[in-house]
Amino acid sequence: MNRLQKPLNASLRLVRSLFTQLHYAPLSCRLLASGRFCRTSVTSGAQQRFMRPLCTDRPTSSFSIQDYEDFKERVLNSDRPVAVQFHADWCGPCKLLGPRLESIVDNTEGDVLLARLNVDDCADLAMEYGVQSIPTVLGFRDGEIVEKIVGVVDDETIRNFVDKLSSDE
């Protein structure tokens, strides 16, 4: 193979790879959007233990806060109690607490909402509410803080937090 054929072969492989990705991507996107992969899976039992479903039938009660106006509208003016998790993408303890908190909040069937606030994106809000370490979860009812969790805690503490938040004390 001479010097001219090597770059040509490399560029042909690149074009072939791009064509394959562009050709098959829309099909996979359509299948995901249609929900066909939600119900069934062609995997072994060992693989299924480590996999999560692509989508669920249950609506989630969680959302992400983008800025102060979003926080004001969705948390302070909410007619339902809101648990606000102050977190960061790089924070290991936040990654441990987040799914457990979301699961417990989802079990309230919409009585309590969960807002996720990235402190790297909304540092002004973190400072305003005195968040000095993450993860921190503040419970808001009628625009006021009624409960607070700092750090990774056990499921029972999270349940008590959510119960206190949803009660009309």
Asked about 91 being catalytic, the answer comes back as yes
CATH class (in words) of the domain with range 62-166: alpha beta
Is the distance from CB of 108 to CB of 166 less than 8 angstroms? yes
Question: Is residue 23 pLDDT above 80, yes or no?
Answer: no
Prediction pTM value: 0.65
pLDDT at 2: 56
CA–CA dist 82, 138 (Å, integer)? 8
Query: What number of other Cβ atoms are within 10 A of residue 33's Cβ?
Result: 9
Q: Residue 134 to residues 67, 98, 142: CA-CA distances in angstroms?
A: 18, 11, 24
Per residue in 110-127, pLDDT (tens digit) is: 899 999 999 999 999 999
Asked about 94 being catalytic, the answer comes back as yes
Query: What number of other Cβ atoms are within 10 A of residue 139's Cβ?
Result: 20
Banded pLDDT at 161 (limits 50, 70, 90):
very high
Q: Which residue in the list 29, 38, 55, 94 is annotated as catalytic?
A: 94
